[in-house]
Structure 1
């Protein structure tokens, strides 16, 4: 045996002898047993998949505690998604028995204790999604393994009801809605009560999410129901102020669903819907997901949270005092709106086809329809101010993507950050812009980061599947996992166990500083006043116009 072979054998024996694992864990429902595997020298991961955090929910009811189980529950495979439409909206998948969560616990030579906890809420337009995310060759998007291992944090992903069963509301006490938000709350509360047994710190829970999950994070921190449960929060591309995040006329959609499944639309509507076949109910909640300049897709996302007087007791903009002691990080992708404008204005993605200026005007007229033609005219002058007399095809198309990014994501996020900073007591506020160029082939050369492209980096996919990425992608993934887990640990993304390329200053109501995140982060990445002329147009100029009588807002 060579010296090298002896050293390797000793290392292997030491590693095996020192394997740290929780083994079976006692939760409030009973014992659970996950799996443990080795990641490297003295590095292991305990994984629990499919732990029930609530009972199977009653139709259009808030979740109830799980009754528990006898013996040791093997938690080694993901629970089913909540019942939802397929991506084509022609069928369904999932189950009504779906309130499960998954936990990743990093271990070293000894069993971990007192770790920060990061709870992830998935996106999917409040219509689709699951706690495990998309899957390719058993590589699940929302696997918490990389971020847990590299950041030395516990990662939890949880499920919640979506679509009709999660967000249909009658607009009154017979069907108040927000069932999906109640599910998220039940999962967060379960984590708070049980995570200590897994080695987590129940007083240091960070909730993070993307898109509808990001708006959900915002709803959870401004709801009075979560007092004392959440220490920090991260919203990636979505806030409660986003135009798609609240349905202000839920009754209309509920009546449409009722008519589709043969239920009355009077006071017998909800009792009838409660006994209707759940698959038929889910399919009846299919949304019209085609857009045009005159009918932008953003206005068709109607299954969403509502102001119910309970979980969301008031307009979200009036509830940020509830987050005064919760550290908050929020940001957007530089081309978040591209996924929308590709459907509303298809010529944006057709290199040889110009986007007529009249189409830009039509789109802005639609987006500003609550305020009338004068608001649209000013918006057009703001967005075309740098075009010159003969704008290129590319600049017009890029402007369309920027308009939708601003309206749907960036401006509401900046408004939420300002409100949070303004209402903060002990809390800190952080703002970012993710601008790593798209990896999707065939998109225009001016493209930045499209919607959801940040997720692969936050969940460490460039390390999980290294052959699918270049070194620059591993760099940005490393930076994001470091900032995210430092923030979860200390409330400051620059301070913690992970090294970061540059200090990220807090966002204040006077400084408006933010970090631009890509693979080239340096001192110049810290900037101020993100797209300020456009933010000022939407939050000040546009907001001052009176609402037009008979608009959709009435």
Structure 2
């Protein structure tokens, strides 16, 4: 019996080897490329291409240009350098100006794939940092597309784009118009649209998705008039164009600060001088100040963001949603997205031994509502303390601080974007979610409090299937939530409906202008996790009550 089994296995392996599905050398507009073909299961293989150029080395503060091409076969087997950016400590730079490359994962069954849906990933990092491969731990890259591609049977593409000073510095006029990083993303999406058929993809079924500044970038890509027809669907995770950090309203002021730091004049010669300055010096000059307090929240230090340039963004984002009328759209947030930020502004939030003074709650709200002066603060404070009672617990006060940050920085702008998308949609469908799988660092003896929900960026590990690729680091419940997210995301990429395709635990209803329904995603989800009008009282406060208060001139 064992001998027979051994023969059968040997025959299966032989047959698989003989019929091993691989694209081999692929012809692209720039020339021929060859990736690496790997085995991912019986009769399942995958072609992985790393480091394909989608544009030429960009000119300083210029839009990207098409790549001139290459001779021979380009070996696309290694990630290329990320775009030049500050390191984590903001003390030095890493990366290169030669950074406009993308990576592609193509799954195959017994035959070479054709006509697969395509998912294009745009990374986050506050428009200051990040790379197409993501953080790396022991050669396990965060943004490896392998698990999504394999489990969802889609092609995954990850792209590089300029960040920091090199990607977003702007004088607010034609000298340095800004948005170079957004143009890079657009160039990559256009390259995928033109070339993905050669890799077995369907150019008429492309979904773009991203998180944080990448989620906002996805939102901007749906709103610009330059992407008509290039992609069909979009997913914004924890970031939309309407976020308070999404647009820099006064880019000139920050450009002058950068110029002074690198010894350039701030007159009509500023742009010419900046173009000739060492890229590392320029990058460091645009680094983020990490000092913050309830009176000056860290979210206000994000100066290097997109600008309304009259070209990529011809108007305020809220007035551009007609451009997304035919795009299917998912947008959502993590239930404690603001924790990463408010934990810096109000450090006592993470200390079980320290009380968080009620005064810190007031100071943070005063910062977020400062245009409206005392009336803004009074209204905000009464809204957030309505359920406190006369003697709120230490935990209640700390959670309120996190809720305030989450609402202001992420949740309310995302709801506003969903309203506008649904109101402007013609054929485009709209879906809303709240991700609430608790952070794995929360609990007794751990760095975060036991009441911790999902922090900013907690969703990434699940979307990219880490509980499957590094199983020892996770519990079965984490594999459940990862499987759910990959199924919803890839079903949506295939059909525009997250419920159609791989089986999902709960039917996710559409978000409409009247229903405002959303799905709460976590490992325990069932039909009771479909909700309506997410945090309505707070959304109403930030989007209706506060804007209608008179502006305070006492500042």
Q: TM-score range by the shorter chain?
A: over 0.9
Query: In structure 2, how many angstroms separate the alpha carbons of the residues matched to 1:89 and 1:546?
Result: 39
Are residue 512 (structure 1) and residue 513 (structure 2) matched?
no
Kindly report which structure 2 residues correspond to 1:22-33, keeping only aligned pairs within 5 A, or say none: 22-33=23-34
> Deviation digits for residues 89-130 of structure 1, max 9, x if unmatched?
000000000000000000011110000000000000000000
> Deviation digits for residues 19-78 of structure 1, max 9, x if unmatched?
100001000000000000100110001000000000000000000000000000000000
Query: In structure 2, how many angstroms separate the alpha carbons of the residues matched to 1:104 and 1:544?
Result: 49
Are residue 93 (structure 1) and residue 97 (structure 2) matched?
no
Kindly report which structure 2 residues correspond to 1:84-483, keeping only aligned pairs within 5 A, or say none: 84-440=85-441, 441-483=446-488
Per the TM alignment, residue 546 of structure 1 is displaced from its structure 2 partner at its CA by 3.0
Query: In structure 1, how many angstroms separate the alpha carbons of the residues matched to 2:515 and 2:321?
Result: 20
Match 2:543 to one of 523, 539, 543: 539
Tell me the SS of whatever aligns to 1:370: helix
- Matched with 2:506 is 502
Query: In structure 2, how many angstroms separate the alpha carbons of the residues matched to 1:159 and 1:289?
Result: 25
Tell me the SS of whatever aligns to 1:372: helix
- Matched with 1:525 is 529
> Deviation digits for residues 238-278 of structure 1, max 9, x if unmatched?
00000011100000000000001111101110011001111
Per the TM alignment, residue 318 of structure 1 is displaced from its structure 2 partner at its CA by 0.3
Per the TM alignment, residue 361 of structure 1 is displaced from its structure 2 partner at its CA by 0.5
> Deviation digits for residues 188-246 of structure 1, max 9, x if unmatched?
00000000000000011100000000000000000001011010000000000000111
Aligned pair count? 550
Per the TM alignment, residue 547 of structure 1 is displaced from its structure 2 partner at its CA by 3.1
Per the normalisation by structure 2, the TM-score is 0.98
Tell me the SS of whatever aligns to 1:536: helix
Tell me the SS of whatever aligns to 1:147: helix
- Does structure 1 conserve the Cα–Cα contact (< 8 Å) formed by 2:373 and 2:554? no
Query: In structure 2, how many angstroms separate the alpha carbons of the residues matched to 1:280 and 1:331?
Result: 37
Tell me the SS of whatever aligns to 1:105: strand
Per the TM alignment, residue 548 of structure 1 is displaced from its structure 2 partner at its CA by 3.3
Tell me the SS of whatever aligns to 2:504: coil
Query: In structure 1, how many angstroms separate the alpha carbons of the residues matched to 2:373 and 2:227?
Result: 39
Query: In structure 2, how many angstroms separate the alpha carbons of the residues matched to 1:477 and 1:227?
Result: 32
Per the TM alignment, residue 445 of structure 1 is displaced from its structure 2 partner at its CA by 1.3
Query: In structure 2, how many angstroms separate the alpha carbons of the residues matched to 1:545 and 1:242?
Result: 20
Per the TM alignment, residue 442 of structure 1 is displaced from its structure 2 partner at its CA by 2.4
Query: In structure 1, how many angstroms separate the alpha carbons of the residues matched to 2:159 and 2:129?
Result: 14
Per the TM alignment, residue 493 of structure 1 is displaced from its structure 2 partner at its CA by 0.3
In structure 1, runs of 5+ residues without a counterpart are none
- Does structure 1 conserve the Cα–Cα contact (< 8 Å) formed by 2:148 and 2:463? yes
Are residue 490 (structure 1) and residue 491 (structure 2) matched?
no
Tell me the SS of whatever aligns to 2:372: coil
Query: More displaced, 364-373 or 511-520?
Result: 364-373
Query: In structure 1, how many angstroms separate the alpha carbons of the residues matched to 2:554 and 2:422?
Result: 35
Query: In structure 2, how many angstroms separate the alpha carbons of the residues matched to 1:547 and 1:429?
Result: 34
> Deviation digits for residues 416-442 of structure 1, max 9, x if unmatched?
000000000000000000000001232
In structure 2, runs of 5+ residues without a counterpart are none
Query: In structure 1, how many angstroms separate the alpha carbons of the residues matched to 2:334 and 2:268?
Result: 44
Per the TM alignment, residue 550 of structure 1 is displaced from its structure 2 partner at its CA by 7.9
Query: In structure 1, how many angstroms separate the alpha carbons of the residues matched to 2:527 and 2:172?
Result: 50
Query: In structure 2, how many angstroms separate the alpha carbons of the residues matched to 1:405 and 1:227?
Result: 32
Query: In structure 2, how many angstroms separate the alpha carbons of the residues matched to 1:548 and 1:206?
Result: 43
Per the TM alignment, residue 165 of structure 1 is displaced from its structure 2 partner at its CA by 0.3
Query: In structure 2, how many angstroms separate the alpha carbons of the residues matched to 1:547 and 1:271?
Result: 39
> Deviation digits for residues 371-413 of structure 1, max 9, x if unmatched?
2110111100010000110000000000000000000000000
- Does structure 1 conserve the Cα–Cα contact (< 8 Å) formed by 2:178 and 2:309? yes
Per the TM alignment, residue 7 of structure 1 is displaced from its structure 2 partner at its CA by 1.8
Query: In structure 2, how many angstroms separate the alpha carbons of the residues matched to 1:437 and 1:257?
Result: 40
Tell me the SS of whatever aligns to 1:516: strand
Per the normalisation by structure 1, the TM-score is 0.98
Tell me the SS of whatever aligns to 1:208: strand
> Deviation digits for residues 326-378 of structure 1, max 9, x if unmatched?
00000000000000011000000010100111110011001101221101111
Q: CA RMSD in A?
A: 0.8
Displaced runs of 4 or more, over 2 A: 546-551
Query: In structure 2, how many angstroms separate the alpha carbons of the residues matched to 1:550 and 1:160?
Result: 42
